[in-house]
Amino acid sequence: MPAYIVVDTVIKNEAEMEQYKLRAKPLVEKFGGQYLARGGQLVVKEHKLWSPTRIVLLRFDSVKQAEDFYESVEYQELLPVSRKAADRTFLIVEGIE
């Protein structure tokens, strides 16, 4: 079943975020993922549990594939850049066929 990575981001440092984005995209693609949304217009209709700010949505073929991406040596080496650039909530959710 497909899996989705959902990331809500508050950017703290634009220059660092640009470096992160340049390096993250090829990694996502290397692990078979694709971007479905990357910080586009956000219309929040309800927010009792969560007030999202900037959403990135990725699709992978499975939860394992998404986890392999996140746990990869390459992505783990990139995480410090992300953490300097932004505060995030990062989750993986299994989709349906």
Q: What is the rounded distance in angstroms from the CA atom of residue 89 to the CA atom of residue 71?
A: 16
pTM, to two decimals:
0.94
pLDDT in tens, 55-80: 999 999 999 999 999 999 999 999 99
pLDDT in tens, 3-34: 999 999 999 999 999 999 999 999 999 999 99
Strand, coil or helix: 39? coil
Counting Cβ atoms within 10 Å, is residue 93 exposed (0-12), middle (13-18) or buried (19+)? exposed
Closest CA to 20 of 62, 56, 67: 56
CATH 3.90.79.10 fits 3-94, yes or no: no
62 CA to centre of own chain? 15
